[in-house]
Structure 1
C-alpha cells in the first residue's frame, strides 16, 4: 500500500439510504439494471447492508472489488421495519425537512426506459411529459426516494426508440442541497479532492447546480463535454439566499426529523490509503463524526461536510490488496 495518499485515486463509491423492506427495494433497483454485489449481515446489531451497482460487461466498474467502484447504492435495513405499518423514511424532499434530493441513473433511450418503468407499475414523481423540463423524469422507489432518469443521448435522437437496454445504464450522480455554495464547493474540491466539471445556473428560478467528480476509470471530462455517460458524480443544489439566513439548515438524514424519521445516511469516498487519507483530513482540520480510532469499526471514518452531511471514508481494496469485510 502507498505510504501517502493522492486524491486522484479517490472514488465516490456509494450513497447510503435506509429502507423499510429490503426485498422490495432490491427488486426495484435490480429492475433498473443494478446487481446485488454484496450483502453484509450484522445480526448482533440488527441490521443488514445491501450494495447494488451496475456490473454488466460494458459497465465502468464491471468486475471491480466493492470499494474500487463508483456509483453504488447501499441499502440499510434495520430489522423489523418491514413489519411496522407506521415506519416511514424521510426522502429528503418533504418540507420542512429537506436535504438529500435524489440519485440519478442515465439510460440509453430515455422515452423507452421511462415507458418500461411505468409499464412495470412503478410510480413517478415527475413523468417526461410533466412540466417544462421534458428531458428528465423522476421515478419513486418503494420508500418514495426520488430517482432521476436522464438520457445519454439527445431527446430527439431517441424519441422513436422502442427498446431499452439496462446493461447500458449508469448510476450517474447523487444530489444534495447545500446552504452555502461557496463553502461546499471549497470543501468538496480542496478537502475531498473532487473537480468541478459542470455548472448549471438557473437565475430565473433562483438556483444553481454544481457537478463534481473524481477522475475514476473514465478520467475527467473535457471542457464542454457532457456528463450523462459518467458514473459517481456529486450534484450540489444551491438555492439563492439560503447562505444569508443564519437560522436556515438542511436535514442531514441521520437525526430524527419532526416526525421522527431518518432516511439518507451518507455518501462514501474510497481512498488509496485509509490512514494517510484520514491524517490528511486531520491536517486540514475537518469536522469529524467518527475517527478511525472511535468505536468498534476501525476500518471506516466519517467526515462532516459544511451542512453536516456524513461522508464515509473507506479503503479501496485495489490499493490494499485485501478485502475490507
Structure 2
C-alpha cells in the first residue's frame, strides 16, 4: 500500500524539561491540557503531551496522534533535584539551533499582562525592541515561547481580557544552514507545503513557513496550527565548518519534531527510497513502532502511526 502524504500531520515538538510539575503548570497556564501521558519507569523517563483542547480547539477530542500543535515534554527522572542540570534552550552560542515554539492569542496585550502578573519571565516584552507586535515569554527551562496575535495589534489600545480557550499552538522554529536544501527536504521528502516566506534583507535573514495542506492565499492565518518555521541567516550555507546544535548532543534540550502518517511501514519505505538519513529505522532497537529521520541539519524527525487512521500500537 502506498502512503498518502495528504494525510500527514505535523503532530508535535519535543522539549526536555528539568521539572515536569513546573513545566506542565506553565503550559497549562497558557491554556494547554495534558491530553496524554506515557510513563516509562523502567527507562526512568515520562512523556507529557499537551495541546489546546477546549470545545473551540481545532483538534478537540481527537486522538493524540491525529492532531497538530502538540508540545511533548520529556522528563528524565532525577533532573528536578539535580542542581547542576540545565537545559540548552537552543538560543545561546555555541548551542544555537532550535529557536522557539509560538502560540497565537486573541489579545496580545492582555495575554502578556496575564503572564507577567503570574510571575512568569520574558525574553522580550511587547515594548522592547522595534517589533511591538510580538513578545517572547520564557518557560521554566528558558525555552522561548513566541506570542503573536490573531487580531490587530494596537499598542495604544486599552488592555482587554484574554481567553486562553481561544489560543492556538501556531508554529515551531528551527534554524537551518542551507535554506535550499532544507526547503527541498521538507517539501519533497516530508511532503510539506511551502506556505509563506518573510524576507528581511536588512537584518540578513529569511523565515520560511511550511506545513501540511494547501498553501493559503494572502498570508498565514495566525489561528493555524501545525506550522514549521525555518530561519535562515544569510551566508551560513557558504561556511563549510558551520553547524547548528541539534538539541540531542550534550548539552541537551529540544529533542525532535514528529510527523504522524497514514501507514507507518509504507511511509518508511518511501523515505528509504528517497535515500534519507536515519537516526533509527523501524527495525532497529526495542521500539518497533517509531522511526527517526534526519533532516539536512541533523534535526531528528520522529515518524509515528496516526492511530485514528489505522491502529498499530494501541496508544
Fold agreement, TM-score > 0.5: yes
Distance (Å, rounded) in 1 between the aligned partners of 2:83 and 2:267:
42
**Deviation at 1:157?**
9.2
**Corresponding position of 2:116:** 118
Q: Does the 8 A contact of 1:111 with 1:158 survive in 2? A: no
Distance (Å, rounded) in 2 between the aligned partners of 1:230 and 1:73:
15
Structure 2 counterpart SS, 1:96? coil
**Deviation at 1:322?**
5.5
Show structure 2 runs of 5+ residues with no match: none
Show structure 1 runs of 5+ residues with no match: none
1:304 paired to 2:312 = no
1:273 paired to 2:263 = yes
Q: Residues 91 and 17 from structure 1, CA distance in 2 versus in 1: closer, same or farther, beyond 3 angstroms?
A: same
Structure 2 counterpart SS, 1:311? strand
Match of 2:304 among 295, 311, 314: 314
1:134 paired to 2:132 = yes
Q: Residues 267 and 277 from structure 1, CA distance in 2 versus in 1: closer, same or farther, beyond 3 angstroms?
A: same
Q: Does the 8 A contact of 1:291 with 1:301 survive in 2? A: yes
Deviation digits for residues 187-222 of structure 1 (CA, Å, limit 9, x no counterpart): 00000000011100000000000000102xxxx353
Structure 2 counterpart SS, 1:198? strand
Match of 2:230 among 227, 236, 255: 236
What's the C-alpha RMSD, in Å, of the aligned pairs? 1.2
**Deviation at 1:318?**
1.4
Structure 2 counterpart SS, 1:28? helix
Deviation digits for residues 213-270 of structure 1 (CA, Å, limit 9, x no counterpart): 102xxxx3532133311001000000000000000000000011xxxx2000000000
Q: Does the 8 A contact of 1:189 with 1:196 survive in 2? A: yes
**Corresponding position of 1:184:** 182
Q: Does the 8 A contact of 1:221 with 1:227 survive in 2? A: no
Distance (Å, rounded) in 2 between the aligned partners of 1:222 and 1:173:
15
**Corresponding position of 1:4:** 2
Q: Does the 8 A contact of 2:209 with 2:227 survive in 1? A: yes
Deviation digits for residues 124-169 of structure 1 (CA, Å, limit 9, x no counterpart): 0000000000010000000000000000011029933420000100
Match of 1:205 among 195, 203, 206: 203
